[in-house]
C-alpha cells in the first residue's frame, strides 16, 4: 500500500532551484516530500513529462466585489483555479460594504466561503471618520494586511487617507507586525493633471497617462515609505508602474526599513503606445500602463530582485463600464486571474529570466508578506499541497472561450501563451483539471499567523 495520496512527477520549479526530473509527494493535503529521480508510488500518481510543477500562486490583490451583482467570489475564484492561483487576497473596497470593522470582516467571510473554489485571505481598511480605532478588532478578526489610498477614487467605497491619518494608521498597525499597503497616487497632483487634460480637450487613450504623470506616483511612494520609516510599520506600495519606484523601494530596504513593492502583471505585459492605443478604456488602470521602455525596466527589476511580488489587481468590470470613447469616463482595472501565471512564465522565458522567480514572486514572497507562510507558498514538507501544473500547450488567449470568467473581454485577448495551466491542486485536492473547476465551497478563509 502506498505511503502517499498523490505524487506528481515533472519539472519542479522552486524559488531557488529547478529539479528537471523531480516529483512532489502529498499525504493528508500536505506536501510530504520533494525529490529527484524515480517518483514513489501513490494512490494517485501522474507522470507529467516536461510539465512545470510550481507552488500554487497567491494573488496578492483582487477585487471580487467592486461592482455589485457582477463578479463575486463564485467567479473570481473560478478564474483563479483555472489560472493556477490557489489563494487570493481580496481588497476591502466592496461596493456597499467597506471592510473597515470586525463585523464587516466576518460578514465578508460568511459571504465568500460558500462561494469560494480556492482559499482566500482578506485586507482590511478604515472609515476615515473613525480614524484608526477599528484596526485592532480587524486584526483579531483575521485580516492579513491593511489597505489605504493616497488618492480618493470614491469618498465612500475607496476614500483618500490624508497624511496625518495615514501616519496614525501606520502607528496602530506597527505593533501587530502586519503590513500597511497603500495605493500610490498623490491626490492633489492627479487632480491638477486631470484638470489640465480636460482643459486641453484630449479625450482619447492618451488622456489617462497624461492625467497621472510619473511624479504623481513617485511622490506618493515616497510618502508611503517615509511614513513607514517614521512609525516602524512595514510599508508596501501595492502597484508600481515605474522603474524609478523600485529604485526608491530598494533604497529604503538598503537603509534597513521594511519597504516592499508589488508589480501587477499588466505592467509587465501591456504598453501604452501599442496596447492602450488599441484597447482604449479596456486598458485603463490606475496607475496607468506606461510606454514599452518602462515595461522592460520593470523586467530588469524582476531580474535584479527588486520586485517583492507579482499580482493582478484583478477586477472584472462589465463591458459597459470600459467602452466609453472618453478615456477618463471608464472604470479603472482589468481582469487577470486566469492568465497571471502563464503571462509571467511567457515574459520570463522571452527574457531568459529564471523561472525560479515565478515561484518566488507569486508564491513564496506573498505568503511571507501576508503571514500565511506557516501554511502557504512553498512546496516544502508540512505546507499545504497547493500546486500549479503548466503544460507546453500553446494557445491564443480568449477570455470568453475559456468559460471561466464572468466577462468575455480581457486586455490579454489574442496573446500567444506558450505554457498554459492544465492542473491545479488545493490542499492536495484537484480544483482544476484543464476543463472543470471545483465546486463552490471548496475554498476556505485563511488567517495570518501573527508573530511578535
Secondary structure of 45-56 in HEC code, one letter for each residue: EEEEEEEEEEEC
pLDDT given for residue 216 in this prediction: 98
For 409, residues 6+ apart whose C-beta sits below 8 A from its C-beta are: 282, 319, 322, 399, 400
Q: What is the pLDDT of residues 116-127, one digit of tens each?
A: 999 999 999 999
Nearest 5°: CA angle at 409, between 404 and 413?
90
pLDDT given for residue 452 in this prediction: 59
Q: Superfamily assignment of 54-369 in CATH?
A: Metal-dependent hydrolases (3.20.20.140)
How much is the mean pLDDT over the chain? 97
Can you give the residue ranges of every domain in the chain?
Answer: 54-369
pLDDT given for residue 414 in this prediction: 97
Spans of the chain below 50 pLDDT = 1
pLDDT given for residue 153 in this prediction: 83
CA–CA distances in Å: residue 31 to residues 47, 51, 107? 17, 19, 32
Contact by Cβ (8 Å): 363, 55: yes
Q: Is the pTM of this model over 0.85?
A: yes
> How many CB atoms neighbour CB 123 within 10 A?
26
Contact by Cβ (8 Å): 115, 444: no
Contact by Cβ (8 Å): 247, 306: yes
pLDDT given for residue 1 in this prediction: 45
Q: What is the pLDDT of residues 8-67, one digit of tens each?
A: 999 999 999 999 999 999 999 999 999 999 999 999 999 999 999 999 999 999 999 999
Between CA 109 and CA 107 the distance in angstroms is 6
Between CA 303 and CA 294 the distance in angstroms is 14
Of 300, 346, 305, 359, which is closest to residue 18 (Cα–Cα)? Answer: 359
Amino acid at each position: 500500500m502506498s505511503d502517499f495520496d498523490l505524487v506528481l512527477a515533472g519539472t519542479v520549479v522552486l524559488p531557488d532551484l529547478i529539479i528537471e526530473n523531480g516529483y512532489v509527494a502529498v499525504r493528508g493535503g500536505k506536501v510530504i516530500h520533494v525529490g529527484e529521480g524515480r517518483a514513489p508510488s501513490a494512490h494517485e500518481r501522474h507522470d507529467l513529462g516536461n510539465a512545470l510543477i510550481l507552488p500554487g500562486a497567491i494573488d496578492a490583490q483582487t477585487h471580487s466585489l467592486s461592482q455589485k451583482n457582477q463578479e463575486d467570489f463564485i467567479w473570481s475564484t473560478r478564474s483563479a483555479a483555472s489560472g493556477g492561483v490557489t489563494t487570493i487576497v481580496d481588497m476591502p473596497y466592496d461596493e456597499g460594504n467597506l471592510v473597515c470593522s470586525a463585523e464587516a470582516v466576518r460578514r465578508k467571510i460568511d459571504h465568500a466561503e460558500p462561494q469560494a473554489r480556492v482559499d482566500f485571505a482578506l485586507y482590511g481598511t478604515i472609515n476615515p471618520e473613525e480614524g484608526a480605532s477599528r484596526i485592532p478588532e480587524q486584526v483579531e478578526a483575521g485580516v492579513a494586511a491593511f489597505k489605504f489610498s493616497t488618492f480618493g477614487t470614491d469618498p465612500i467605497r475607496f476614500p483618500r487617507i490624508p497624511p496625518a491619518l495615514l501616519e496614525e494608521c501606520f502607528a496602530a498597525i506597527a505593533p501587530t507586525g502586519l503590513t500597511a499597503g497603500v495605493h500610490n497616487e498623490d491626490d492633489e497632483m492627479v487632480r491638477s493633471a486631470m484638470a489640465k487634460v480636460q482643459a486641453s480637450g484630449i479625450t482619447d487613450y492618451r488622456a489617462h497617462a497624461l492625467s497621472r504623470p510619473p511624479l504623481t506616483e513617485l511622490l506618493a511612494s515616497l510618502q508611503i515609505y517615509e511614513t513607514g520609516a517614521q512609525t516602524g510599520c512595514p510599508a508596501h506600495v501595492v502597484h508600481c508602474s515605474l522603474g524609478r519606484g523600485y529604485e526608491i523601494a530598494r533604497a529604503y530596504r538598503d537603509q534597513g526599513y521594511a519597504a516592499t513593492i508589488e508589480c501587477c502583471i499588466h505592467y509587465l505585459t501591456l504598453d501604452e503606445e501599442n496596447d492602450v492605443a488599441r484597447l482604449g478604456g479596456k486598458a485603463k488602470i490606475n496607475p496607468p500602463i506606461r510606454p514599452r521602455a518602462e515595461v522592460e525596466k520593470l523586467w530588469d527589476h524582476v531580474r535584479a530582485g527588486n520586485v517583492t511580488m507579482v499580482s493582478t489587481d484583478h477586477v472584472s468590470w462589465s463591458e459597459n463600464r470600459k467602452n466609453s470613447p472618453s478615456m477618463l469616463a471608464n472604470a479603472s482595472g482589468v481582469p487577470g486571474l486566469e492568465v497571471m501565471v502563464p503571462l509571467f512564465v511567457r515574459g520570463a522565458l522571452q527574457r531568459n529570466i529564471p523561472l525560479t522567480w515565478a515561484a518566488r514572486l507569486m508564491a513564496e514572497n506573498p505568503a511571507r508578506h501576508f503571514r500565511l507562510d506557516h501554511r502557504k507558498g512553498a512546496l516544502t514538507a508540512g505546507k499545504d499541497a497547493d500546486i500549479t501544473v503548466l503544460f507546453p500547450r500553446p494557445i491564443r488567449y480568449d477570455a470568453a472561450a475559456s468559460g471561466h470568467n464572468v466577462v468575455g473581454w480581457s486586455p490579454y485577448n489574442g496573446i500567444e501563451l506558450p505554457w498554459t495551466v492544465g492542473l491545479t491542486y488545493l490542499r492536495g485536492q484537484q480544483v482544476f483539471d484543464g476543463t472543470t473547476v471545483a465546486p463552490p465551497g471548496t475554498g476556505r478563509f485563511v488567517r495570518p499567523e501573527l508573530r511578535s
